[in-house]
Every structure is written in C-alpha cells, then in structure tokens.
A and B are shown apart, each in its own frame.
Chain A
Amino acid sequence: MTEALVSLRGISKQFGTVSANLDIDFDIHRGRVHALLGENGAGKSTLMSILAGRYRADSGTITINGTSVSFSSPASALGHGIGMVYQRFMLIESMTVAENLLLSAHRRIDRKNVALTIQETAQQYGLDIDPHKYIFELSMGERQRVEIIKLLLLDAQVLIFDEPTAVLTPPEVAAFFSVIDTLRNAGKGIVFITHKLEEVLKLADDISVMRKGRLIVSTRADRESLSRRRLAQLMVGRDVVLQVVKEPVEPGDTVLLLENLSGNGSLGSVSFDDISFEVRRGEIFSIIGVAGNGQSALVEAITGLGPAHSGQLSFCGRTYTPRQWLNSSKDTIAYVPEDRYHTGSVGTMSIGENSGLTRLSAYQNGIGGMFLDRKQMLNDCAAAIKTFNIKAESPDDTADSLSGGNLQKVILARELSRNPRLFIAEQPTQGLDISATEDIWKALLECRKEAAVLLVTGDLKEVLSLSDRIGVIFNGRILEIIDAHDADAVGRVGLLMAGVSS
C-alpha cells in the first residue's frame, strides 16, 4: 500500500468522565474510501471531528504526508486540506449558495465571478447546483452537494462524511455514491462514517470498526472474511440477531380510522394530503417514510397537537370533524414523540416529575385538583425504573442526565401507564443502541395486546420486525398499504419510500 496521506496515532479524547476516543490509530489514503463503522456513541464522529479541527485531542498526533500538524479550528484543518461534511449541514439557510461558498472560500474565489467558479467546480465533479438559490429552498441532497463544493473550492484533499446517507432518499443515495466514485478517481482521500453495513460493503476500500471509544479492527475491504454478519458482530461486540418474538394477536375493533384527512401542520412543516387508514386493536400499523414527507404534521393532527383542514377521523367508534377532534379529550391516546429530549421530557426536571407530564390528572388532589402529589410521581417512577430496567440512580435524577435509551424508557413507561386505547410511537428507537432498541420493541409488541399501535418511523428494519400492516408515505400521501406477511409487496417498500410506485 502507498504511504498514507493522513495518519492519526494514539488519539484520545475525554468528555467529562467518559472517554470518547481511546488510543486510536487511523490512516487515510489517496484515492481510497475508508469506512468508519460503529454504533451510536462509539466515538466515530468525535474522532473525525478531531481530525477536522472541531475538537482538540487530549493526546495523540496527526501527520499529513509525514509532517506533524495540529489544528486549532476547522479553518486550520481546512488550510491543511482536511474538510468534513457534518450530519447537520453547516450552511446558513437564509443565504444563497453563492453567499455560503463565498463565506468560506473567499480567498479562492472572486466575488464577481463566484457563480462561474462554482459552476466550473460543480461540473467537474458532476455536482449540479444553482448558485443563486437560497439554502432553505434546496433538498437535503442538494445541500450536501453544496457542502462538497465548499470543500472542493478550498482544495480539500481529504473529505470526511458523517452519516451522509441518513437524510437522503434512495435515488439521492445512488447519485451520492457516484459522486464519491468521481472523487475517489480524482485522487481524494475519503472517510465515510456510517452504521449501515450495505453501504460499507458497496463503497469502502478500507474498513475500520469502533466500539465504545476504541478501534476494534482496521482492515482492507477486499477480504472474504468480512461478511455483514461479521461486521455487525464487531460493531456491537456480540452476536447480534436483533430479533423479537412476535406472537400472533387476533386484531380487534378498529380504534382509529382516518378518512381523507388533509392538513398543513402547525409549524410550516410538509403537509399531508388525503390520508386514509385504520388501526385496530391488536395490531401494529406502521407509517414508513423518509423524514420530511408529512409524517410530523400527520402525527400532530392525530394527537390533536396540530390542525387538519379536511376529511374526518373516528376514534373508538365516534366520528369527529378535524375541528371537533382538536377540542375533544385524548386521555386514552398515548404518544411517544420523536424528540425525546425537548418534547417528550423536560431536561432540567427530574425523571420522577417527568413521569407525570402527560398524566397530571392522576396525581391531582384537593379542590379542583389544585394540588399535585409529587411524591406519588416519584414512587411511580421508582417502580418503572425497576420494571423497565432503567439505568438511573433514583427518580430525582434530571432527565438530561440519562442516556437516550434510558430516557426513552422513562417516557415509554409513562405513556404505557396511561392505559391507552391507541399508542403512537414516533421514531422510537432512533439513535438508540441495540439493547435499548430490543427493550422498546418488546414493549411495543406487548402493548399491542391491549391497544392499537401506530408506529411512525423511517427505519425499514424496525417496520419489518414489528408491523402487521405498513403504509408508505411520500410527499404527504400514503402511496400504498402493504400487508407485512406479503413478502413480494414488502420488497417494494424501499422503492415506494423514494416515491417510485408500481
């Protein structure tokens, strides 16, 4: 193998009492794609943020072409030809593509012919973009292209991508892969952070796996021994076959029925249009789609947090117009929201207090429910900590001191204790590690014995493991409702998510 373009040696980084990186060696070569694999929290992003100058390592060295370097900021890393495309794009939404590029690459491009320079670079690498558009007008794929052009204009030799496909639709993913090929052929060094095994096997020339802050393995990709299964095992540290036992449950009465429901959402999110489906007791009905296709607004309308403007909705046999629905009691609808940190819980309050958030009436006493029995909340929380095996010292721990998985279980326990007729879970396992995912899946399957479950997610594996029926949402419409037992139909879900029907 040729001399490495960039070498990291003995990198360590600690956050508080947790070491995110421990003595890590990592090499990047010209014209090769290096995939960095690991679960959430394994330390991949931290390592790459150190290389990109966002964090400083506590110890260790970085050498470029044999010369030792140290970066004080992302700008100085870029000065050495190392650039990173973060999961959250670093673009200013209210400015145009040209303004954004001018901001970072002002030394390389002239204000007057900025548009021309951008188009030249864009064409060279097959990245089509209109320099005069505002960022907020662009799709996620287009924004990613802007980020890549930004790095190329700065003459970056190493491009680091953090979970680049997480926000893309399948066709955008394909386009992105071909851009990566072009970049590789142009002799750039590429790092690709991911936890998707398929992508690794498709793209990577080198593979490294991280687990709990350590580098577990670093190898060339063309080894026969590296199967998906082996990679997964390396990532998680044990043999994973994330499988849950799904006992058959006889579907009961229809709990929720949507008929031609349309709405705009409350916060300017993507609207939904003409949605009809039913959810029965004893089944898990999943709505799957890439984020930003109207799911959020739809869930808001069902939970009564946002409006719908036409169509109707039946719940437990009673039919409501959207307006009536907004004002009706939803005590028997439990809801685990997507944002567990700022919506599902209050970070600065204790988990005990958080376990009363959506069911205050259960703790009120005195005249008109004036007083609140906070002690009972804490007791209930203590019980939930035991039942759900939540890792917390006591109910007095603040919510933001818990890990995502444990916090999610606190929320789940609270929502389950409402004895719901309908249970809505939105992206319930996003960003959680495998064991927490397993626990939550089990709880959802358990829940469907008593209630109707509506699962809203973008995770295909989750849907296939749990659902009885699947509705694929694209651009605010449900394209098709598929029986999870129909193997042929299930195969189409991926394409449907990209909007390709029939």
Chain B
Amino acid sequence: MIRIEKRAVLPRYHHLIAALIAFAAALGLGSAIFIVLGVNPFSAYQAMFNGVFGSFHSFSEVLVKTTPLIFTGLAVAVAASMMLWNIGAEGQLVWGGIFAAGTALYLLPSAPASVLIPMIIMASACGGMMWALIPGLLKARFNVNEILTTLLLNYVAIIYMEHLFYGPWRDPAGFGFPGTAQIPEAAHLIRFLGTRMHLGFPLALACALLLFIVMKKSSWGYRVQVIGSEARAARYAGFSVSRHTLLVMALSGALAGMAGMAEVCGIHYRLQTGLAVGYGYDGIIVAWLAQLNPLAVPFTALLLGALFVGGEQLQTVFGLPSTISLILEAALLFGLFGGQALIRYRIVFPGRKKEIPTASSHSGTTS
C-alpha cells in the first residue's frame, strides 16, 4: 500500500523546492482564472512572457519595478529574521520619499549632484528609520504588537504625504495637479542605457549583498539569528532583545526608506500619489518567497517585478484588469505554504523494506 509519512529530515534543497512549488501553484491558479475568463492560458502566459522578455526596453521596465521591491523585501526580511513583523515598509517608504524630496527641494536645492545624491540617500534612510523606530520603540519598551502598529502607521504616513503635496509642498506652477514641484536635476539618479533603469538598482543589489554579509559573518548577525530563533536561548546567552529590536527595526526602516528615495529620485522626480502603490506590502511576499535569505531577495523581487509588468501586458492585450497580478502574488504565497507543508511528507511505496532501527532515546518518543 502506498502511504504518506512524515519526513524525519528535510531534503537538502527544501527552500528551492518549496519556492518552485509556489511558482507552479501560482501558474496553476492563474491558468484557472484565465480559463474562467475565457482566455487561453497559454496565450495569456505568452503575452506576459513577451511583455517581460520581449525587448530590452520591456525587461528594463521589469528591473525598474524590481528596484523598490528589493529594498522593501530586504526590509521585511531583516526584521523577520528576528521574528519581527514589519508590515509598515509602505509607510517607511513614504517617509523615505518625503525626506528625499524635502532634501532635494528645500534643504539643499542648489547643491551639486556629488553632494546632493549621498545626502538624499542618507536622508531617505533616516526618514524610513525614524518611522520604523516608532513601532520599534513601542515593541522594545512596552511589548506592543508590532504587526498592528507598523501597519496602522502606513495610513498615517500616506495621509501626511498627501497633506504635504496637496498643501504646503504643492507645486505653485502645477496647475492644481497634486504633487510637489520637480526636484532639481542634480537630485536625479543616473539612468542607464536610455532606459528608466537607474542607480537605485545597483544600489539595491549592493544592499542585498551587504545585508547577507552582515547576517552571515558579523557577530551582530549571529545574535539576531539567535534572538529570532529562540528568544529564551538569547536571554540565556545575555543578548539584549530590546536593543536588537531597535537596531533591526532601524535597519529595516532605513532599507524601506531607500525604496522611497529610489522611486522619487529615480522615476517620479517629485512627491506624488504614485509613490505609495503597495511596494511595502509586496516586500512581505518578496522576503518570504526568498525565505528570508538576502541573496535570494533580488531574484524573488525580479519574479514579482516580472509579474507586474506581465500583468500590465495582459491589460493591453486582453483588456484584463492588471490587478490580476495581486491575485497571482497571493497565489505564490499560498503556494509556498503548500510547498512547505508538502515537503514535510513523503510518499512511501510498498516493497522497499528497509531495516528498521530500534528505538533509542534519540526519538523522544516518550512524553
């Protein structure tokens, strides 16, 4: 009889296998939706594929979308590696954008690029950090649930940003268009090869690499890993959970803040409505699909970026709402859960008798 049993040890590449299962699940659900809508799934996927890889320009657009996703993905991942849920990357992104625009427009409007760009990057990191430290402090000091505080602060950040560009920061020459004036040219991030792909992309990759090194090689990364895996062991080893909570939230916020900077100084050149389009929430999916590994984040961010650009293509070709990419995003995540659960089991075929070792204290079968 074929039966299903629990694996004692996870297979070696279980992270990758789970991710592949997630991908397959999303493809499957997507197909089902296309069929329901009367669209041939193959032509739909082909359209998406063409939209992504069809030309150099289209692929560069994918990288444009990938850039903020890497930042927010890293932000979520670094917090989650200490079992902190930063659902507030969206709000931190917004504050990063506000600080970036503020620096460019009001603080150093006539500085040369060589001064202005580093200042803007730092300012945006500080903006995100400041916003993330609010829930960080509440968590470290009063143990307030950070899931809810980070999330609720997103709404506050967006309301404040809207207040700025509808009110005091509104472009006087903007014909009532909601948004600030354009930031000076010196504040524009350099763009590559005639596309919209900009300096933010290599910067994001560098951050991923840096974060990987910090997590794997530094003593700080070791402590964060211990705190995230086993809080009691961390206390026993004398690591301060509250101090690390603050540091991790600060780092997380800084990364998310840079996503806002990349959008403002790389794409929009001003503060406007299009800044908060959900990259912060997408970061959660990027991080968990990458299973919190900073080096895997650029790849999962690319996958999501491709999904967005492909989704837009579906709109042009088939007239389907591009929000289908949101559904596929969720399908990826649910597929990952399914994959992770599936990996815990294996199918045992009859006939293959193995030697049965006897019980020892190893199994922990008592209790």
A and B touch in the complex (CB under 8 A): yes
Q: Which A residues are within 8 Å of any B CB, using their own CB? A: 14-22, 39-46, 87-88, 212-214, 304-305, 330, 335, 337, 339, 342-349, 353, 356-358, 360, 363-364, 369-372, 374, 401, 403-405, 431-433, 436
Chain A neighbourhood of B362, CB < 8 A: 18, 41, 403
Query: Provided the pairs A46-B365, A346-B230, A372-B218 are in contact, do residues A212 and B360 lie with their beta carbons within 8 angstroms?
Result: yes
Task: Verify A343–B365 contact, CB threshold 8 A.
Answer: no
Q: Within the assembled complex, what's the spacing in Å between the Cα atoms of A353 and B364?
A: 23
| Pairs of residues from A and B, 5 with the lowest C-beta to C-beta distance, nearest first | A16-B8, A213-B359, A41-B361, A18-B363, A20-B365
Report the nearest B residue to A14, measured CB to CB.
B356
Q: Within the assembled complex, what's the spacing in Å between the Cα atoms of A43 and B8?
A: 18
Report the nearest B residue to A403, measured CB to CB.
B362
B6 within 8 A of A: yes
Task: Verify A46–B233 contact, CB threshold 8 A.
Answer: no
Task: Verify B367–A353 contact, CB threshold 8 A.
Answer: no
B232 within 8 A of A: yes
A17-B357, A370-B218 given; 7 more Cβ-contact pairs under 8 Å: A18-B358, A41-B364, A213-B358, A348-B230, A358-B237, A360-B237, A404-B361
Considering only residues 222-241 of chain B, those with a C-beta below 8 Å from chain A are 222-223, 225-226, 229-230, 232-233, 235-238
> Within the complex, what minimum Cβ distance (angstroms) separates B316 from chain A?
46
Task: Verify A343–B232 contact, CB threshold 8 A.
Answer: yes
Task: Verify A346–B359 contact, CB threshold 8 A.
Answer: no
Query: Provided the pairs A372-B218, A401-B9 are in contact, do residues A45 and B367 lie with their beta carbons within 8 angstroms?
Result: yes
B163 within 8 A of A: no
**Residue with the greatest number of chain B CB neighbours at <10 A, chosen from A18, A45, A353:** A18
Task: Verify B8–A87 contact, CB threshold 8 A.
Answer: no
Q: Within the assembled complex, what's the spacing in Å between the Cα atoms of A469 and B104?
A: 73
Task: Verify B8–A343 contact, CB threshold 8 A.
Answer: no
B55 within 8 A of A: no
Task: Verify B365–A45 contact, CB threshold 8 A.
Answer: yes
Task: Verify A337–B365 contact, CB threshold 8 A.
Answer: no
Pick the contact of B361 from A22, A370, A372, A432 — CB < 8 Å? A432
Chain B neighbourhood of A40, CB < 8 A: 361, 366
Query: Provided the pairs A17-B8, A19-B356 are in contact, do residues A41 and B366 lie with their beta carbons within 8 angstroms?
Result: yes
A to B CB contacts below 8 Å, 28 in the list: A14-B356, A15-B365, A16-B5, A16-B363, A17-B354, A18-B357, A18-B358, A18-B360, A18-B365, A45-B365, A88-B367, A213-B358, A214-B358, A335-B236, A342-B230, A342-B233, A343-B230, A343-B232, A346-B229, A346-B230, A349-B226, A364-B219, A369-B219, A370-B219, A371-B217, A401-B9, A403-B360, A432-B361
Q: Within the assembled complex, what's the spacing in Å between the Cα atoms of A356 and B289?
A: 30
Chain B neighbourhood of A370, CB < 8 A: 218-220
B298-311 CB mask vs A (1 if < 8 Å, else 0) is 00000000000000
Chain B neighbourhood of A41, CB < 8 A: 359-366
Q: Within the assembled complex, what's the spacing in Å between the Cα atoms of A165 and B354?
A: 39
Task: Verify B233–A346 contact, CB threshold 8 A.
Answer: yes
B7 within 8 A of A: yes
Chain A neighbourhood of B220, CB < 8 A: 370
The size class of the interface chain B forms with chain A is: 35 or more
Task: Verify B361–A39 contact, CB threshold 8 A.
Answer: yes
Q: Within the assembled complex, what's the spacing in Å between the Cα atoms of A358 and B8?
A: 29
Chain A neighbourhood of B221, CB < 8 A: 372
Pick the contact of B363 from A15, A87, A344, A358 — CB < 8 Å? A15
Task: Verify A358–B359 contact, CB threshold 8 A.
Answer: no
Q: Is the interface of A mostly helix, strand, loop or mixed?
A: loop
Report the nearest A residue to B362, measured CB to CB.
A403
Report the nearest A residue to B235, measured CB to CB.
A305
Considering only residues 339-354 of chain B, those with a C-beta below 8 Å from chain A are 354
Pick the contact of A19 from B9, B237, B359 — CB < 8 Å? B359
Q: Within the assembled complex, what's the spacing in Å between the Cα atoms of A42 and B367?
A: 11
Pick the contact of B219 from A22, A46, A371 — CB < 8 Å? A371
Q: Within the assembled complex, what's the spacing in Å between the Cα atoms of A339 and B222?
A: 21
Chain B neighbourhood of A304, CB < 8 A: 238
Considering only residues 155-200 of chain B, those with a C-beta below 8 Å from chain A are none
Pick the contact of B222 from A16, A17, A353, A405 — CB < 8 Å? A353
**Residue with the greatest number of chain B CB neighbours at <10 A, chosen from A214, A358, A371:** A371
Chain B neighbourhood of A353, CB < 8 A: 222
> Within the complex, what minimum Cβ distance (angstroms) separates B225 from chain A?
7
Q: Within the assembled complex, what's the spacing in Å between the Cα atoms of A305 and B235?
A: 7
Task: Verify A42–B359 contact, CB threshold 8 A.
Answer: yes
Query: Provided the pairs A42-B359, A364-B219 are in contact, do residues A348 and B229 lie with their beta carbons within 8 angstroms?
Result: yes
Chain B neighbourhood of A356, CB < 8 A: 222
Q: Within the assembled complex, what's the spacing in Å between the Cα atoms of A342 and B235?
A: 11
Chain B neighbourhood of A404, CB < 8 A: 361, 364
Chain A neighbourhood of B361, CB < 8 A: 39-41, 403-405, 431-433, 436
Task: Verify A360–B219 contact, CB threshold 8 A.
Answer: yes
Pick the contact of A339 from B217, B218, B232 — CB < 8 Å? B232
Q: Within the assembled complex, what's the spacing in Å between the Cα atoms of A357 and B227?
A: 11
Chain A neighbourhood of B357, CB < 8 A: 17-19
> Within the complex, what minimum Cβ distance (angstroms) separates B151 from chain A?
27
> Within the complex, what minimum Cβ distance (angstroms) separates B320 from chain A?
42
> Within the complex, what minimum Cβ distance (angstroms) separates A306 from chain B?
10
Chain B neighbourhood of A346, CB < 8 A: 225-226, 229-230, 233
Chain B neighbourhood of A357, CB < 8 A: 226, 233, 236-237
Task: Verify B218–A347 contact, CB threshold 8 A.
Answer: no
Chain A neighbourhood of B8, CB < 8 A: 16-17
Q: Within the assembled complex, what's the spacing in Å between the Cα atoms of A337 and B236?
A: 8
Chain B neighbourhood of A46, CB < 8 A: 365-366
Chain A neighbourhood of B235, CB < 8 A: 305, 343
Chain A neighbourhood of B236, CB < 8 A: 305, 335, 337, 343-344, 357-358
Report the nearest A residue to B355, measured CB to CB.
A17
